[in-house]
Amino acid sequence: MDREEILEKSRRENMVRDEGVEDARSKGMQWGVVGFLFLCVAVLIYNLVRGLDASLPVAFLLGYIGCEAFGRYGVRREKSMLITGILGAVGTLCALTLYVTNTL
């Protein structure tokens, strides 16, 4: 195999997992999370100031926290992430139940 063949093979393999694409996806996801959390907190504060039901933004926030923790637990098997995931899931169910009962 000459140099050009090796480079071409490497390029084909890297098209699937290009570091630049992975880095851009990771940074985009980080900014998306920051935006989502900021929006949840802003809506939560607005609802509390206006005396509105705040359980729906709490459900979104806890749902995100729980899902992220379960995802980390699946990869790293950290007990703290399992506990966080369970608490997030239970909190989400409680907040959703409260929201549904308040809006019926």
**Residue pLDDT, tens place only, 76-86:** 999 999 999 99
- pLDDT on residue 24: 81
**pLDDT single digits (tens) 40-60:** 999 999 999 999 999 999 999
Structure tokens at 50: 């206006």
Give dist(CA 46, CA 40) in Å, integer. Answer: 10
Instruction: Work out the average pLDDT over 23-43.
Output: 89
- Distance from the Cα of residue 72 to its chain's centroid: 10
Task: Sketch the domain layout of the chain as residue ranges.
Answer: 3-103
Mean pLDDT of the chain: 88
Closest CA to 69 of 52, 81, 59: 81
